[in-house]
Amino acid sequence: MFARTLEILGDLIAFPTVSTDSNLEMIAYLASHLEAAGAKVDVFLDETGRKANLFGTLGPEVDGGILLSGHCDVVPVTDQPWATDPFKLTVHDGRLYGRGTCDMKGFIAATIAMAPVFARKVRDRPLHFAFTYDEETGCIGAGHLAETLIERGIRPNVAIIGEPTEMRIVEGHKGCYEYTTHFHGLEGHGSDPDRGVNAVEYAVRYVTQLLELKNALRSKAPANSRFEPPWTTINVGAFNGGQVHNVIAPKAQIDWEMRPVQASDAAFVKQSLQQYCDDVLLPEMRRVFPQAKIETQTMGEVDGLEPADDNAARQIVAELTGANGADLVPFGTEAGIFQKIGMDVVVCGPGSIAQAHKADEYLSSDQLVKCLEMLDKLADRLEKKG
CA 206 – CA 232 distance, rounded (Å): 18
**What is the residue-averaged pLDDT of the chain?**
95
Let me know how many helices (H) and strands (E) the chain has, helices first: 10, 17
Catalytic residue among 103, 134, 135, 187: 135
| Per-residue model confidence as pLDDT tens digits over 235-261 | 999 999 998 999 999 999 999 999 999
SS3 105: helix
The secondary structure of 224-276 as a DSSP string is T--SSSSS-EEEEEEEEE--STTEE--EEEEEEEEE-SSHHHHHHHHHHHHHH
Per-residue CA distances from 256 to 177, 206, 273, 297, 337 (Å): 9, 11, 13, 11, 22
Based on the residue annotation, tell me whether 194 is a catalytic residue of this protein.
no
Handedness of CA 103, 107, 108, 113 (dihedral sign): positive
CA 131 – CA 72 distance, rounded (Å): 6
CA geometry: angle 183, 185, 190, nearest 5 deg: 125
CA 134 – CA 369 distance, rounded (Å): 27
CA dihedral (208, 214, 220, 223) in degrees, to 10, reads -160
CA 201 – CA 186 distance, rounded (Å): 12
State how beta strands 251-259 and 176-184 pair.
Answer: antiparallel
What pLDDT does residue 228 have?
Answer: 87
For the chain, give the percent of residues with pLDDT over 70.
99
Question: By mean pLDDT, which of 178-187, 323-332, 337-346 is the weakest?
Answer: 323-332
Per-residue CA distances from 287 to 191, 290, 312, 373 (Å): 19, 6, 57, 68
What pLDDT does residue 253 have?
Answer: 98
41-61 average pLDDT score: 97
CA geometry: angle 238, 240, 241, nearest 5 deg: 160
Tell me how long the chain is.
Answer: 386
The amino acid at residue 316 is I
Handedness of CA 322, 328, 334, 336 (dihedral sign): positive
Q: Give the global pTM.
A: 0.86
Question: Which of 20, 93, 56 is CA-nearest to residue 360?
Answer: 93
SS3 198: coil
Per-residue CA distances from 131 to 29, 43, 82, 238 (Å): 12, 10, 27, 33
| Per-residue model confidence as pLDDT tens digits over 145-201 | 999 999 999 999 999 999 999 999 999 999 999 999 999 999 999 888 889 999 999
Residue 39's pLDDT band (boundaries 50, 70, 90)? Answer: very high
What pLDDT does residue 72 have?
Answer: 97
What pLDDT does residue 385 have?
Answer: 52
- pLDDT greater than 90 at residue 212: yes
Contact 381, 313 (CB under 8 A): no
Map 122-185 to HEC letters: CCCCCEEEEEECCCCCCCHHHHHHHHHHHHHCCCCCEEEECCCCCCCCEEEECCEEEEEEEEEC
Per-residue CA distances from 369 to 3, 94, 374 (Å): 10, 11, 9
State how beta strands 90-92 and 95-97 pair.
Answer: antiparallel
- pLDDT greater than 70 at residue 386: no
Q: What residues contact residue 346 under an 8 Å CB cut-off, 6+ apart? A: 159, 160, 161, 169, 170, 171, 311, 313, 314, 317, 326, 335
Catalytic residue among 42, 46, 61, 73: 73
| Per-residue model confidence as pLDDT tens digits over 286-306 | 999 999 999 999 988 888 998
CA 13 – CA 91 distance, rounded (Å): 12
Based on the residue annotation, tell me whether 279 is a catalytic residue of this protein.
no
Per-residue CA distances from 267 to 9, 71, 194, 202, 373 (Å): 41, 28, 35, 23, 42
CA dihedral (115, 43, 347, 4) in degrees, to 10, reads 30
Contact 245, 167 (CB under 8 A): no
Cα end-to-end distance, the chain, whole Å: 23
What pLDDT does residue 67 have?
Answer: 98
